[in-house]
Amino acid sequence: MKVIETDRLILRWLSTDDAAFILELLNDPSWLRFIGDKGVRTLENARNYILTGPMDMYSKLGFGLYLAELKDGRIPIGICGLIKRDSLEDVDIGFAFLSRFQSKGYAYEAASATMAYGIEQLGLNRILGITSKDNYDSSRLLEKIGMTFERIVILPHETEELKLFSSTF
Ligand SMILES: CC(C)(COP(=O)(O)OP(=O)(O)OC[C@H]1O[C@@H](n2cnc3c(N)ncnc32)[C@H](O)[C@@H]1OP(=O)(O)O)[C@@H](O)C(=O)NCCC(=O)NCCS
Residues 87-131 have pLDDT tens digits of: 999 999 999 999 999 999 999 999 999 999 999 999 999 999 999
DSSP helix/strand/coil, 3? strand
**Per-residue confidence band for 54, with pLDDT thresholds at 50, 70 and 90:** very high
How many angstroms separate the CA atoms of 72 and 82, rounded?
24
CA-103 nearest atom, ligand 1: 11
Determine the distance separating the centroid of ligand 1 and the alpha carbon of 99, expressed in angstroms.
10
How many angstroms separate the CA atoms of 107 and 13, rounded?
17
Note down the domain range covering 141.
Answer: 2-168
Give 79's contacts (C-beta < 8 A, 6+ positions apart).
14, 25, 54, 65, 66, 67, 68, 94, 95, 96, 97
**Contact 137 CB / ligand 1 (< 6 Å):** yes
Residue closest via CA to ligand 1's atom 48 equals 131
Mutate to test the pocket of ligand 1, among 6, 134, 138 (most ligand atoms within 8 A of CB): 138
Phi, psi of 107 (to 5 degrees): -65, -40
**Contact 149 CB / ligand 1 (< 6 Å):** no
pLDDT at 145: 98
Residues 119-164 have pLDDT tens digits of: 999 999 999 999 999 999 999 999 999 999 999 999 999 999 999 9
Residue closest via CA to ligand 1's atom 16 equals 103
**Contact 68 CB / ligand 1 (< 6 Å):** no
CATH number assigned to the domain comprising residue 73: 3.40.630.30
CA-144 nearest atom, ligand 1: 35
The number of distinct structural domains making up the chain is 1
Determine the distance separating the centroid of ligand 1 and the alpha carbon of 127, expressed in angstroms.
19
Among residues 60, 53, 72, the alpha carbon closest in space to that of 14 is found at 53
